[in-house]
Structure 1
Amino acid sequence: MSCGHLVPLGGGKTRVRADCIAADLPASAWQRRSAGAGSKGPRFYEWAWLDDVCTDDGG
């Protein structure tokens, strides 16, 4: 996604820019993953997985 993409958090109640979320993550949250072979060699990207727990009780 682009850095300006608005990510819905808190069950969709809040939207935060992706680059702001990424900037707040500790270094330990990131993992280097292969995206396959490219024409100029291996392609590696840094990835972080986030869980957003929805607290909406439906009421």
Structure 2
Amino acid sequence: MEAKIDELLRKAKVHVAKGQFDKAIATAESVLAIDAGNRAARSLISNAKSRQMEALRANTSLE
């Protein structure tokens, strides 16, 4: 089970690095389905959501 969690966390990190924040969040949430208290997954979700908001703000003009 630990190997599956590690693999999912690795995939989620790759998604974040590629700017695929929705995929990163979904993958990290898969970890939480296995281990609801997984701190790494919770941290990754928080980071991905923050970066997603930053990306949205950067692409939005207030004209």
TM-score (norm 1): 0.26
- Between structures 1 and 2, the one with greater strand share: 1
TM-score (norm 2): 0.25
